[in-house]
Structure 1
Amino acid sequence: MIYAALIFGLLGSFHCVGMCGPIAFLLPLDRKNRSKRILQLLSYHSGRIFMYAIIGMAFGMVGKGLNLFGIQQQLSIGVGLLMIISILLPIKIFNRYNFSKPIYKAVGKIKSSIGTELKKKDPGTFFTIGYLNGLLPCGLVYMAVFGALATGGALQGSLYMIVFGLGTIPLMTTAIYLGNFLKGTVKQQIVKAIPVIVVVIGMLFILRGLGLGIPYISPSEMVTVEQVGAHHSCH
């Protein structure tokens, strides 16, 4: 399902530009030295991807723990359903219950830290900004986290989120250089396509969990690393 992470990253970056664009536009890049500017951008993206990797590892470990109970396929189905439900449910329901209220304070602190870093021009500033940027709430990141959870392993979950992060680099970099370069109907059409892609990927996760015997998409048996090890120890 790594390709799903790449699709999330590439298409989700249109959403990312809207959410994280203001931070990216304010990066204190060296506009005179091209080589230095490229290194600063790489440092920023490395910080974001490093945080995504940590998040992916954490949720991959949770998925691994659930797999030990033999519910890997059920987990994949559950993740797919969560993706689809999160798209289909009216946003008013989330606003009514205000799920994000408990984390407003933490988000405020993160934004404050980013604001402080934006005033600096130290070598580690760009990595720190990217690292903190990766902690900010983002719906597309949440969708990718669901995918990391379903991978059923710390390394797999980390890799899933790294690939997601790599997918966001081209558009985020273009936005930093050119500003809000996509306008009008093109941008609207791409934004409208994102929920459709999320639903399709959710359906792929459900198919994966159903074990219909379709190679690569829905294998009849999902074998975990632990199960393989246990099988070899019996011989």
Structure 2
Amino acid sequence: MNPVGLDLPPLLAAFVFGLLGGAHCIGMCGGIMSALTFAVPPSMRSPARLAGLLLGYNAGRVASYMVAGALAAGLGTLVSLAPAARAALQALAAMMLILMALYIAHWWKGLLALEALGRRLWRHVEPVGRRLMPVVHLPQAFALGALWGWLPCGLVYSMLAWSLASGAPAQGALLMGAFGLGTLPAVLATGVAARSLSGLIRHPATRTLAALSIIAFALYQLWALVLHALH
């Protein structure tokens, strides 16, 4: 049994989880996107150039997610040599998804404690990003986005736990890549589109539906582990 393998449902689920986490992405990353936009010299803010730089930022961010996913999965392969350890990692991944769901629905925000731990790393990363401003070309935008990908985020940490149990670095990278692509609509939306999308995603009914969907998926993973243990 491989409940977090590379068959389509896990990758699709990771993409959907990125979409469902859009409310958090808008809240956390919306200000960053605005700051990065204003980091471009006024004389170079043509629509085409800004669009290219925004895509560069987000390509770098998703690339960082994929690197982190590969590293987490690589660590997981070392830890999970024994079947019992592998099952424990998969159970941890499912529990982290449940915590993600509670976080999205605003039912419990325990993941904020993980974000606090991540801020220690971010204090060392942020000064490097400042040295890349002002942004004037695409490689620079990609590099800045790659640093942005290490911003403390409870949703990302939940997905990394899933990558930890994925079984191979390539699997972990693809899971995080799918998750990152799912966050793009919320992060890239601007103006009226951003306000409309934010209103929809932040609606309590949307949050509740998203949370219940993620919890159902996580419980399915746990049930698969139980069935596997019984047989």
TM-score bucket of the superposed structures, by smaller chain? 0.7 to 0.9
Report the alpha carbon displacement of residue 116 of structure 1 after superposing the two structures with TM: 4.0
| Structure 1 residues 115 and 180: CA distance shift in structure 2, 3 A | farther
The 5 Å alignment of 1:181-220 reads 181-182=196-197, 184=199, 187-189=202-204, 190-211=206-227
In structure 2, the partner of 1:53 is: 66
The DSSP-based 3-state class of the residue aligned with 1:121 is coil
Q: Distance between the aligned counterparts of 1:80 and 1:143, measured in 2?
A: 9
Q: What residue number does 1:4 align with?
A: 13
The structural deviation recorded for 1:204 is 2.8
Aligned to 1:229: none
Alpha-carbon distance between aligned partners in 2 of 1:46 and 1:54, rounded to the nearest angstrom: 12
Superposition deviation, residue 51 in structure 1: 0.4
Hey, what's the Cα distance between the residues in 2 that align with 1:180 and 1:121?
Answer: 28
> 2:79 & 2:127 partners in 1: Cα distance?
36
Contact 1:26-1:118 at 8 Å conserved across structures: no
- Aligned residue type for 2:172: G
* Cα distance between partner residues in 1 of 2:115 and 2:83: 32
Counterpart pick for 1:83 among 61, 80, 97: 97
Q: Contact conserved, 2:119 with 2:151, CA < 8 A, in 1? A: no
Q: TM-score, normalised by structure 2?
A: 0.75
Distance 1:23 1:144 in 2: 21
Amino acid at match of 2:145: G
| Distance 1:8-1:51 versus aligned 2 partners, 3 A rule | same
> Where do 5+ consecutive residues of structure 2 fail to align?
1-9
One-letter amino acid of the counterpart of residue 138, structure 1: C
Alignment equivalent of 2:140, drawn from 125, 129, 148: 125
Give the number of aligned pairs: 211
Cα separation, 1, equivalents of 2:191 and 2:220: 33
Residues 167 and 94 of structure 1: CA distance in aligned 2, closer, same or farther (over 3 Å): closer
Q: Distance in 2 between matches of 1:125 and 1:63?
A: 32
- Summarize the alignment of residues 124-143 of structure 1 with structure 2, pairs less than 5 Å apart: 124-143=139-158
Aligned with 2:170 (options 149, 155, 161): 155
CA distance, structure 2, for counterparts of residue 119 and residue 180 of structure 1: 27
What CA RMSD, in Å, does the superposition of the two structures yield over aligned residues?
3.1
**2:31 matched residue in structure 1:** 22
Q: What is the percentage of aligned positions where both structures have the same residue?
A: 25
Matched, 1:111 2:126: yes
Q: Which runs of 5+ in 1 are unaligned?
A: 213-219, 222-235
Match of 2:52 among 39, 44, 52: 39
